[in-house]
Structure 1
Amino acid sequence: MTRRVTITDVARAADVSVATVSKVINGRYGVAQATSTRVQQVIDDLGYESSLVARSLRSHRTHVIGILVAEFEPFSTEILKGAAAAVSDAGYELLAYTGASSGPGWERRYLSRLSGTLIDGAVLVTPSVVDVDAQVPVVAVDPHTGPTGLPTVDSDNLTGARLATEHLIGLGHRRIAFLAGRPDLESSHLRETGYREAMAAAGLTVDPALIRVGDYRSEATRAPMSELLALDDRPTAVFAANDISAIAAMEVAQAAGLRVPEDLSVVGFDDVPEAAGAVPPLTTVRQPIQRLGAEAVTLLLALLDERPAANHVRLDTTLVRRGSTAPLG
């Protein structure tokens, strides 16, 4: 039988005291960042299970669901709303964590700390990794591109991207740029594939100069958008992989003296609340974001109760036409 890793083993391997390991595990002050990072790596490498309480409580319920997000931004906030409603309806409580700032693999570390002590199961939203070895059931929303054995929930990104691109083509646009999302997420790759498929179906060649990366972030979108507008044969339309990038694209265009949609049509993806309030209101692909959160919780609760559950849930997407797109003038 394999001997269980102890806190002393971690301390010895990391060349620190047991007290230092305890501080790192419990998130207490007084440990240098470099030391904390080294200890966390040893914990991950050795597979140390930090809580003795976790082992004694495995047969009991805390009636708390954990949800881990990279950051609290419009998309994840809507996910949280849907998850919170589903959790409340089931008589559970929701515990939300964000930890991307603590570096790669943060999901593993948080799950190690939370599993069995505070939560019965977890939902990972746009996780950077999915090869987690948690002691509780885990469901991923909008997963990483790598292989996963986790149950997942997502939207029909491919069809949604086709709808967005076909909408612009139907308005007469041919020079259509694409602002891609996070390279490590499957959703970004599927949205680019949908864009390319729609262009090909219309007999249009994709100009590589019109493909840029916005990373699903406002600030990361601004420079690529400025580069697109500086092209000698600039695009007449832009499909951004999410609404935050689309809104940033409109702001860059307007700052450059272009009118949206008269001089440039823009389409986003998600339909976060900010989309309808943009100036002009953003044409976008609507994915039922709150329902994504609710479906993830529903799937997780089925796993907890050992009821039959799907391994993958995919929700439909639809095009919402607003004021940011117009026929090519």
Structure 2
Amino acid sequence: MPARVTTLKELAAQLDLSITTVSRALAGHQQIALKTRERVTEAARQAGYVPNTAARTLVSGRSGFVGMVLPIRGPNLVDSFLGEFVTGLGEGLVSHGTDLILAAAAQGQSELSVLRHVVESGRADGVVVTRIAEVDERLAYLRQRNFPFVAHGRLLDTDFAYNWLDTDGAHAFGEAFDMLYDLGHRHFGLVTIAEPMTFRHLRQDGLAAAIARRGDPSVRLDVATAPRFDRGARIQAINRLLHAVERPTAIVALFDELALSVMEEAARAGLTIPRDLSVIGFDNIVASAYAPPGLTTFDASIRQCAREIGEMLLTIIGGRPAAPLTRLIRPTLVSRASHGPALTGKN
């Protein structure tokens, strides 16, 4: 076992490397060869050396942290989606020697004000932005500041050049419709949210495009909309679909939490899934596999996407690529037991 070291100078001497090389290796600089970075990191671990963050910041001009703002809008600090996302992001960053700062935006407090504080305090070298809105002031601010960031999601305005990673919800919703149509369904329901989020538009547009491609006048679509974090309004909207004189035989939900609410309310209404009603969600959160009879959904690879976003951001911080980094991931259908053929004679 190597002797315990307490200073960067001692660690550098033990490795027969310059202090600058060791400092940059511990900070994950891409200019340092991967083998050297791995050697330095392993030696530091074995010797019990913990870098002095303040000193490292003075030397490198970087904090070694990446920031993310968590808005507190519902009863829980982190929902199922964000829980998986934050876990993946943290995993992706820590594997490169960078830590994640989470800054909470309290109810009634704008995310932009919290984001400004994270950026202007110098606490983070870059930030990750989630749940992109139709007009997103956070991205406009970061672009104007020329501050490194990656968005999980896309703007509707394609003239705005920025770094993003997204899942192709439009394709998934088109695929969901085609599958249900081929099973004989003609009366569809869509459960969505009222908030002006771009993922809502993209998924709904994918569904509308798939309907239009069929050119079948017998296809009918009923839409139930409610504020995302208003459970009472959500339940009312879902029940308007389920208790209509002519109810849908298949419902596609914007994301899994809405789909699970549909399944719960359907059970209360005495409907059997999938005999009486087919339900499809999006995200493949953990609960979707256990809610009887098992929710058919699309796996958005939340955790893996977050890891990749972390790696993209570190690349941007380290080298500032000439062109924005972008990636569109196609979700995978996870076929469980919540969808099936339409009953003959059903609307």
- Structure 2 counterpart of 1:63, which letter? G
Shift in CA distance, 146/214, structure 1 to aligned 2, threshold 3 Å: farther
Alignment correspondent of 1:7: none
Identity %: 28
Q: TM-score normalised to the size of structure 2?
A: 0.72
Determine if contact 1:243/1:269 at 8 Å carries over to the other structure. yes
Tell me the equivalent position of 1:64. 65
Q: Does 1:119 align with 2:124?
A: yes
1:1-329 matched pairs, under 5 angstroms: 60-71=61-72, 72-99=78-105, 101-103=107-109, 106-115=110-119, 116-128=121-133, 129=136, 130-133=139-142, 134=145, 136-143=147-154, 145=156, 148-181=160-193, 183-205=195-217, 207=220, 210-216=222-228, 219=231, 220-308=233-321, 310-329=324-343
Deviation readout 1:14-46 (Å, 9 max, x if unpaired)? xxxxxxxxxxxxxxxxxxxxxxxxxxxxxxxxx
Following superposition, the deviation at residue 256 of structure 1 comes to 1.1
Unaligned runs of 5+ in 1: 1-52
SS in 1 for 2:282: strand
Partners of 2:179 and 2:93 in 1: CA distance: 37
Greater shift after overlay, 304-313 or 272-281?
304-313
SS at match of 2:263: helix
Moved more, 185-194 or 143-152: 143-152
Query: How far does residue 170 in structure 1 lie from its aligned partner after superposition?
Result: 1.8
Contact kept, 8 Å, 1:216 with 1:244, in 2: the verdict is no
Alpha-carbon deviation of 1:67? 1.6
Q: Give the secondary-structure state (helix, strand or coil) at the position aligned to 2:140.
A: coil
Given the superposition, is the C-alpha separation of residues 160 and 218 from structure 1 closer, same or farther in structure 2, using an over 3 Å criterion? farther
Structure 2 unaligned regions, length at least 5: 1-53, 73-77
Q: In the alignment, what sits opposite 1:34?
A: none
Once the two structures are superposed, residues 59-94 of structure 1 have per-residue CA deviations (whole angstroms, 9 ceiling, x without a partner) of 611101112233411111111111111101110111
How many residues end up aligned between the 2 structures? 272
1:161 alignment partner AA: F
Query: How far has the Cα of 1:318 moved from its partner?
Result: 1.5
Q: Under a length normalisation based on structure 1, what TM-score does the superposition of the two structures give?
A: 0.76
Please give the per-residue CA displacement for 1:246-282, whole angstroms capped at 9, x wherever unaligned: 0001111111111111111100011111111111210
Paired residues of 1:218 and 1:248 also in contact (CA < 8 A): no
Q: CA deviation at 1:122?
A: 0.5
Shifted more, 265-274 versus 66-75: the winner is 66-75
Q: Counterpart of 1:102 in 2: which secondary structure?
A: coil
